[in-house]
Structure 1
Amino acid sequence: MTVPYITARLFYTKFSYTFNVTPGPKFIRLHFYSDSYQGLNASQSFLTITAGRYTLLRNFSCYLTAKYLKTDHFFKEFIVYVENHTLELIFSPTSNPPNAYGFVNGIEVVSMPLQLYIRGDDVSLPFVGFHNNMLAIDNKFALEMVYRANVGGQTISPDQDTGMFRTWNDDASYIFGAAFGQLDYDTTVSIQYPKTVPAYTAPEDVYRTARSMGQYNEINMNYNLSWFFPVDTGFLYLVRLHFCEIVPDMTLGNQRVFFIFINNQTAETQADVIVWSKGHGVAVYRDYIVMVPSQAARKQDLWLELHPNIQVKPEYYDAILNGLEIFKISNYDGNLAGFNPPLDESNIQQASSPALSKKSKKGLQNRIKYSISGGLLFILCLFVLIFIKTRRKWKMKNTKDSSPCNNFHADDITKATNNFDESLVIYNLDMGKVYKGEINGTEVAILRGIKEISEQDFKEGIKMLSQTHHHNIVSLLGYCQGDSEKILVYEYMDNGTLSDHLHDHSKHLSWNQRLEICVGAARGLHYLHTGKNRPIVHGDISTSSILLDENWTAKILSFGFTMASHNSDGYSIHIGSQTDVYSFGLVLLEVFSGRAPPLNLKTENDENSGSNGDDDHESLIPPASDCLEKGDVDQLLDQSLKGKISLESVGNFVKITKQCLAKKEVKRPSMSEVLYSLELLQMRQDNESNESSPKGLYPESCSDLMIGVEFSDMLMSSGR
């Protein structure tokens, strides 16, 4: 376990820590690791913690909290205003002697800018549910952070925050039902911070990712994009929502306007991010105060919902959110302490969702009569709309194990492909042939010929793919399962496979295009490896499974299952995440050289390799292996790129490729590290002048080219 969970301070009577600090607001983070220290019974430890006049925790059980959170370590974060130069934290065991004891594993006290969260009497915040009522939070109040999320993006670790060591978790576990919306992600957009939103407010990565409702207006009008957060009852909460328009087309007001509902109350009727921020790529946030009424020692779900407002006739029926923070506000007596969660989670009372509760549903209809919430209704509306448009029924299984995506009838597939006309074949993959087709006026790609897949594996693959949504993953639209064959239906990709463009001499991809494609593919593969529902090993990554849309965006074609008997030429490898990294290294080599890797290229695990650690590239047969080892990259480089790439770019790209192709799995980087390195390389490449082509690109030795990005465990650091 990493710091600060290595050690613990145990105490049996009242114990205090005193810190000399400057006056002003401070973060106080208390770290806990639930364990039976010195043989003590962890379930008998109860603790009260105060900071001056504020009660942060009362009768707090680390044991019960850890069970509730399903983790052995966690932290509690508070914001307290220190009026003088001394901050004293008092820890008091509250269980009965002789069993009384308490413990803490780590304490952080971090300074923060004035008015970042406690904005003072001069800033009045809307009190949701109390029309025209405003409240202010001044220094008399303390706050407890209960949720902080990077909406639509990956977790941001403390060392990637803006100097205050905050953790921004992803929001996937708080999304309600199947109505998960669409993930928007653009690491290239330049985030602008106006005077009202200082750069320390939130990291750029919060504003570079978002969750929106998607591109289908009819569907969006029939559901809410919804999150739910269990909170203590009997408190006011500060809800901060972060926004930034990162989609290139969103540059004007009234393009995307939406309602914001917090806890079944209307917070905004015309949320327009462009109007608020005054421009594309400009960060903005909105604060709201909401009351969660007291209920008998129970937790309750605090709901956040977004829905398009069509009354103002926007261009798109859509909504967007980039980040959120939720803070508990202390009572007037300075108390922030809630109740311990019950050991049996089934006892936790949760507010009914708008889709299931008649009362909530009525309230929602009062807000907006045509709004319907919930994942099940979302799928039903999708089915109804398609039925109306096509005037035919697409078989939709209504069983517990059915997939949420479309189950197409065989007649639909036959008609879409003109009875599988061979002239419509656009890709030939080991998994099967891919046909170009049309369903309901929409171009689709239909994969036929999937064999040797059990019915259970096929269903599992469909389930996994239906939960996989990313800008760099080819979307699964549906499937068809007959007695004799299994078919998958994907979105159509206009520009074909990466392999087509690398090996067709009439098509030349520039170095910048190749880097952008590699970064996009790495993002998709990283998303598969770090999926929240279940990490997915692709098992067949190659330039033939990387497709390009009309905007040359790279998207990975994933099958949702892997079969050892189906591997693309040159990628016969063991299945595993590190095997995907190795295969991706072969993709990088192919992108660099413009030539396909050798047939039956294999790698070995540590147990079988017999390598002494110095032979990391034996698996690459000559000439690639010799060229990489000797630094003779001139023989590897695609002829169309010669004289057009800088020495630094060559060196860093070769370094990343070599690391991915390490013979021993333990020496290969993770996809997170590969993605980081490629994004950094792309950033450096973008900064170079396109007009100046450095001469003498290729030195006699490759050693000087190894000065690029070093991989670090910090990129994979666990939560604090």
Structure 2
Amino acid sequence: MHANICFLFSLACFTVLFNELYVSATGTQPQSLSLNCGSENGGTDGDGRKWESDVKYITGTHPHARAQYQDSSIDSDVPYMDARIFTSEATYNLPITEKTRYWLRLSFYPSEYSGLDISDSYFSVVAGGVTLLNNFSASITAQALTQAYLIKEYSLAPMNSRILNVTFKPADKPDAFAFINAIELVPTPDLFGSGTMVGFSDQTFDATGGTLQTMYRLNVAGQYISPTKDSGNLTRTWYNDAPYLFGAATGVNLQSNESFDVRYGELAESVAPPDVYRTARGMGYYKDVNMKFNLTWLFQADANFTYVVRLHFCEFQLTKVNQKVFNIYINNQTAQADPNAADIIGWTGEKGVPTYKDYAVFVKDREGDEEIRVDLHPSTSSKPEFYDASLNGIEIFKMSDRSSNLAGPNPVLSEMLANHIAKASHKAFKTDNKIVMGTVGGVGALLFAVVCVAVYQRTKRIPGFDSNTSTWLPVYGNSHTVSKSSISGKSSQSSHLSTLAQGLCRHFTLPEMQRACKNFDESNVIGVGGFGKVYKGVIDQATKVAIKRSNPQSEQGVNEFMTEIEMLSKLRHKHLKKGIIEDIIDPQIKGKITPECLKKFAETADKCLAESGPERPNMGDVLWNLEFALQLQDNPEGSQHKSQGEGNETSEESTGNRNLEMHRKNLSLGSISEVNEESEDSGDIFSQIVNPKGR
């Protein structure tokens, strides 16, 4: 009996000990949390990430609502279409692990929710005792940034608690309310340290125990990186840097080859994904040009805060120290310069090893100072091999102040945008007052439409009738009035073109174009012209298009662009067909072009498409190339006939021929002997080009 009691006691002790060990082993691993607020079942987003409902994490009962309209820039209704609404103070209790840093992301989609005016939404958010937002208006912020939705990301300092309280409190205003569409909580390693303040050599900053807000995260010269492709399972989003470049000189995009391997070494891979280090923006290949400009990025910032500017570097072209050395300036103050100028290989020791540098700057509350400017410029003191500079990535974080505050003011709308919104509101007000008259007029319009359709159907049956209307023409036809895009975001007819162009052209809204080319992703760039960059895209889920985006520094303006549209609209001819060049080549000469002629013609065309102007041949050189290509077509083997005066060449003629020989080799024109070995009747070529003859 006594033995049985001892056995049972020992078993109970072992069970308790095992459970403690199990909890200890499993409880130390921090877990991520993704909440689709206002949703009953969570759901899965467009990237395949799973979300759960927020019901069990919130105190009290608060209504939920569904957005009445889904913006075209939102590719998935999870997690933006549902929202949790707060008309009074409410708190989320989120489970966390002690002494662990977390990313906290708050997503807002300021759309129309039933019975609510989104312009009345003003509220504050406090998390872990830090004020993240105060008197915040998601509607004003989204309008000022011309974005459909907002994501606010914060790096929360480690806490001695297992619960994170996130409190939403509506502002003390009539009809004010708070709302939230999504909450993410992601454990992270400690990615922040300490360093020197820019402009104050005797002052330092320490971000180890502080809470920070992510302001910008850019993959310089690279493409958009989605949360699912981030490193360390941190689900960060990286954007292209093009919108933040400042000045006419934006440098050149550099990209490593496919076999390039990023070797992190002692650097944690969670700092940034490998794709950030596989692209970079450099200054170019011309020393004299590089010395006359800076690579510059410009960012808007809230005043009276300290910002940590993190610059990512990785060399994938050079291999030695002092090949590329440059200075770094932040807000026109020296951050890294001679005699300690930036040398990536000097920092990392070898090619393919990434690194980053943190610099802190305080933004003062003075007019014109509410921005962060980053400049790179070649250093000359050590006489490097190349006068160049490069950068792979930029992150900017705002540090909380001494009162544990990160909240900044709502942005101020530009005068043009404010006027546009006011006119739209006035128009909507007038529409509401005339709804009765509109109903009566609608009945009459319906009758008129029935008559028009009947006439149109009868006209279509008339033999030989051909409408010039494009298949993309909207249902309201060749109206000469400007039609404003509806809230659905569909395109409308433009009235700034001629009658012919209006019949053949479709006017696209900005959201449609952004969605077609993935928000002007640099990976979709297929060309650069005088007007700006050209992006490939897909419209209506199937039609491939090219989208031109205006460059403010371009010498060509809207008038030139409209003229181009006018000309293109007239290029509708039965002999103009789409396809590839192999299919549309003249059948009379198909298979008759000599390989030598085609090769020379292709080389000429390729040189004309060179990125840099000095590398492109002038018209005289192009003419010589075309002449030589024609000679290769007429006599591909080359004639054995030589000029009879060849042996009587003077010294001046010999020097001239040597210079011409060098010039031709540089342009891949062939040598003088190749040109001289031509048929005797090739002297008429120039006259044939000026006054073409039938062939």
CA distance in 2, matches of 1:101, 1:299: 33
Pairing partner for 2:171 from 91, 94, 98 = 94
2:227 maps to 1:158: yes
Give CA-to-partner distance per residue, 1:352-371, whole Å, 9 cap, x none.
xxxxxxxxxxxxxxxxxxxx
Structure 2 counterparts to residues 29-428 of structure 1, below 5 A: 29-83=105-159, 84-97=161-174, 99-112=175-188, 114-116=189-191, 118-119=192-193, 124-139=194-209, 141-162=210-231, 163-246=233-316, 248=317, 250-269=318-337, 270-295=341-366, 300-344=370-414
Letter in structure 2 aligned against 1:17: Y
Query: Matched residue of 2:91: which SS?
Result: strand
Structure 2 counterparts to residues 550-589 of structure 1, below 5 A: 572-573=577-578
Q: Provide the residue aligned with 1:372 in structure 2.
A: none
Cα pair distance change 1:183/1:196, threshold 3 Å: same
Q: For residue 37 of structure 1, report the CA deviation from its aligned partner.
A: 1.9
CA distance in 2, matches of 1:73, 1:208: 29
Cα pair distance change 1:36/1:86, threshold 3 Å: same
Q: For residue 7 of structure 1, report the CA deviation from its aligned partner.
A: 0.6
Pairing partner for 1:17 from 92, 95, 101 = 92
Q: For residue 164 of structure 1, report the CA deviation from its aligned partner.
A: 1.2
CA distance in 2, matches of 1:570, 1:19: 67
CA distance in 1, matches of 2:213, 2:549: 26
Query: Matched residue of 1:219: which SS?
Result: helix
Query: Matched residue of 2:140: which SS?
Result: helix
Q: Considering only aligned residues, what root-mean-square deviation do their CA atoms show, in Å? A: 3.7
- Answer yes or no: is the 8 Å Cα contact 1:232–1:299 preserved in 2: no
Query: Matched residue of 1:38: which SS?
Result: coil
- Answer yes or no: is the 8 Å Cα contact 2:123–2:170 preserved in 1: yes
Report % sequence identity.
38
CA distance in 2, matches of 1:170, 1:109: 25
Cα pair distance change 1:570/1:165, threshold 3 Å: farther
Return the TM-score normalized by structure 2: 0.51
Q: For residue 194 of structure 1, report the CA deviation from its aligned partner.
A: 3.2
Higher helix share: 2
Q: Provide the residue aligned with 1:676 in structure 2.
A: none
Q: For residue 40 of structure 1, report the CA deviation from its aligned partner.
A: 2.0
Q: For residue 277 of structure 1, report the CA deviation from its aligned partner.
A: 1.6
Q: Provide the residue aligned with 1:548 in structure 2.
A: none
CA distance in 1, matches of 2:347, 2:276: 17
CA distance in 2, matches of 1:18, 1:307: 49
Structure ID, larger Rg:
2
Return the TM-score normalized by structure 1: 0.49
CA distance in 2, matches of 1:253, 1:572: 55
Give CA-to-partner distance per residue, 1:136-165, whole Å, 9 cap, x none.
2222x1000000001111111112211211
Q: For residue 41 of structure 1, report the CA deviation from its aligned partner.
A: 2.1
Stretches of structure 1 lacking an aligned partner (at least 5 in a row): 349-453, 455-466, 480-520, 535-558, 574-582, 588-595, 602-720
Q: For residue 530 of structure 1, report the CA deviation from its aligned partner.
A: 7.5
Letter in structure 1 aligned against 2:135: N
Q: For residue 327 of structure 1, report the CA deviation from its aligned partner.
A: 0.3
Q: For residue 522 of structure 1, report the CA deviation from its aligned partner.
A: 10
Query: Matched residue of 2:165: which SS?
Result: strand
Q: For residue 69 of structure 1, report the CA deviation from its aligned partner.
A: 0.5
Query: Matched residue of 1:572: which SS?
Result: coil
Query: Matched residue of 1:59: which SS?
Result: strand
CA distance in 2, matches of 1:528, 1:253: 46
- Answer yes or no: is the 8 Å Cα contact 2:222–2:523 preserved in 1: no
- Answer yes or no: is the 8 Å Cα contact 2:91–2:168 preserved in 1: yes
Q: For residue 191 of structure 1, report the CA deviation from its aligned partner.
A: 3.4
CA distance in 1, matches of 2:308, 2:276: 19
Letter in structure 2 aligned against 1:264: N
CA distance in 2, matches of 1:5, 1:291: 35
Q: For residue 346 of structure 1, report the CA deviation from its aligned partner.
A: 7.7
Query: How many residues are paired up?
Result: 385
Query: Matched residue of 1:8: which SS?
Result: strand
Pairing partner for 1:6 from 81, 91, 95 = 81
Letter in structure 2 aligned against 1:169: Y
CA distance in 2, matches of 1:244, 1:345: 42
CA distance in 1, matches of 2:163, 2:96: 6
Letter in structure 1 aligned against 2:280: A
Q: For residue 529 of structure 1, report the CA deviation from its aligned partner.
A: 5.3
Q: Provide the residue aligned with 2:46 in structure 1.
A: none
Letter in structure 2 aligned against 1:293: K
Q: Provide the residue aligned with 1:448 in structure 2.
A: none
Structure 2 counterparts to residues 451-462 of structure 1, below 5 A: none
Query: Matched residue of 2:370: which SS?
Result: strand
CA distance in 2, matches of 1:220, 1:70: 34
Q: For residue 212 of structure 1, report the CA deviation from its aligned partner.
A: 0.7
Structure 2 counterparts to residues 493-504 of structure 1, below 5 A: none
- Answer yes or no: is the 8 Å Cα contact 1:230–1:299 preserved in 2: no
CA distance in 2, matches of 1:321, 1:560: 38
CA distance in 2, matches of 1:230, 1:89: 27
CA distance in 2, matches of 1:341, 1:44: 16
CA distance in 2, matches of 1:75, 1:468: 19
CA distance in 1, matches of 2:236, 2:521: 28
Q: For residue 55 of structure 1, report the CA deviation from its aligned partner.
A: 0.5
- Answer yes or no: is the 8 Å Cα contact 1:68–1:345 preserved in 2: no
Q: Provide the residue aligned with 1:506 in structure 2.
A: none
Q: Provide the residue aligned with 2:514 in structure 1.
A: none
Letter in structure 2 aligned against 1:93: P
- Answer yes or no: is the 8 Å Cα contact 1:234–1:295 preserved in 2: no
CA distance in 1, matches of 2:411, 2:571: 49
- Answer yes or no: is the 8 Å Cα contact 2:363–2:371 preserved in 1: no
Letter in structure 2 aligned against 1:105: N
Q: For residue 572 of structure 1, report the CA deviation from its aligned partner.
A: 2.8
Cα pair distance change 1:251/1:155, threshold 3 Å: same
